[in-house]
Copies of this chain bind each other. A is one copy, B any other.
């Protein structure tokens, strides 16, 4: 079976400079893939000239005259830019012309347009954003929701767990992923009301529910999946990015202090690079928008060629293994069994 991936070629901080090389890399690695590049056709063609070895018979260019900017309000992206590369790419999935869409554009716009064009799966109240975060075990802890839903009811969190459960089976090949509910521990009051009720509901499902986990369990890799509302998830994700950036900034600063410390940096290069590789967020690039009638993958806005390739790979795995159909099935089974 061949897989067709629609790529918002203009999206993200870098646009074509990243999306075109990464697409060509991917086509060369996977002979069963076709890529639909959506955006300014002239500029795309021009960018492709630099990749004469690219299999042009598996590349299709679809023109879109507008681009959703990273700071465009959702309303502008959704209502005014009706010929944006993002929207036209999503429409490819809606029309059955592509199996998945990948964009590095504005997350809010991507979710809003995807919901509008693709609609939500039956039984799913709220789509959610799921992504893997590097953990101590050298694997990724998949966390959701990362910002689509700031106020959640217990049933929404249970649905997030159900969707992520299918996603990890399909994309990561984990047969029965463990699920943790993000909570606070030994402090005065254990968890808020929504989380307490969610715990009770999760125990009643047939999911592999581990129970409550705390903030540090994300990085310990205590469970494969960590479920929380989009407010908490987004704050944790950004705080972690902020801390990691501060740490690496400090390390760079201290090694750049003098000629002597620069020499020390050269001496310590190998282990430090190994550390960086192990927690390299680029390898975990590609958040999945779950709960839609179509496979939508969000790449980090600042993703480079290497990172974007990982997002494309997640889209490929999800599409090839029919993630959306399997989530839909899980919700049908769930509903009939209740």
Contact of A42 with B by CB under 8 A:
no
Question: Are B215 and A234 in contact (CB-based, < 8 A)?
Answer: yes
Across the interface, do A244 and B247 meet the contact criterion of CB distance under 8 Å? yes
Closest residue of chain B to A143 (Cβ to Cβ) is B239
Binary contact track A262-287/B, C-beta < 8 Å → 1, others 0: 00110110111011001100000000
Closest residue to A193 on the B side, CB-wise? B151
When each residue 204-215 of chain A gets 1 if its CB lies under 8 Å from chain B and 0 otherwise, what string results?
Answer: 000000000011
A124 within 8 A of B: no
Residues of B within 8 A of A229 (CB): 192
Contact A268 B267 (CB under 8 A): yes
A265 B268 Cβ-Cβ under 8 A? yes
- The CA of A249 and the CA of B137, in the complex, are separated in Å by 11
A186 to B237, CA, bound (A): 13
Q: Tell which of B71, B129, B217, B247 touches A275, judged by Cβ atoms closer than 8 Å.
A: B247
Which of these, B150, B192, B195, B218, contacts A191 with CB under 8 Å? B150
Indicate if A28 sits at the interface (CB-CB under 8 A). Answer: no
Q: Label chain A's interface by main secondary structure.
A: helix
Chain B residues with CB under 8 Å of A255's CB are 268, 271
User: Which B residue sits closest to A237, measured CB to CB?
Assistant: B215
Contact A267 B264 (CB under 8 A): yes
Q: Are B246 and A189 in contact (CB under 8 A)?
A: no
How many chain copies?
A: 2
Residues of B within 8 A of A60 (CB): none
Docked-complex contact A267 and B267, CB < 8 angstroms: yes
Whether the pair A216, B230 counts as a contact (CB closer than 8 A) is no
With most chain B CB atoms within 10 A of its CB, the pick from A193, A239, A267 is: A239
A214: which B residues are within 8 A, CB to CB?
234-235, 238
A187 within 8 A of partner (CB): yes
- The CA-CA distance from A216 to B257 in the complex, in Å, is 25
Residue pair A187, B234 in contact (C-beta under 8 Å): yes
Query: Do residues A135 and B246 form an inter-chain contact, with CB atoms below 8 A?
Result: yes
Measured between beta carbons, the chain B residues less than 8 angstroms from A272 are 251, 254, 268
**CA of A235 to CA of B218 in the docked complex: distance in angstroms?**
10
Does residue A32 face the partner (Cβ distance < 8 Å to B)?
no
Task: Please pick, from B232, B240, B257, B265, the residue contacting A232 in the complex, using a CB distance under 8 A.
Answer: B232
A243 to B238, CA, bound (A): 12
Per-residue contact bits, chain A 78-104, to B (CB 8 Å; 1 contact, 0 not): 000000000000000000000000000
How far is A136 from B250 in the complex, measured between Cα atoms in Å?
8
B-chain residues with CB within 8 Å of residue A33 when the two chains form the complex: none
Contact of A219 among B182, B230, B242 (CB under 8 A): B242
6 more A-B contacts (CB under 8 A) besides A107-B188, A235-B236?
A136-B246, A150-B192, A195-B231, A215-B237, A219-B243, A268-B268
* 5 A-B pairs with C-beta separation under 8 A: A70-B186, A214-B235, A219-B243, A247-B247, A251-B271
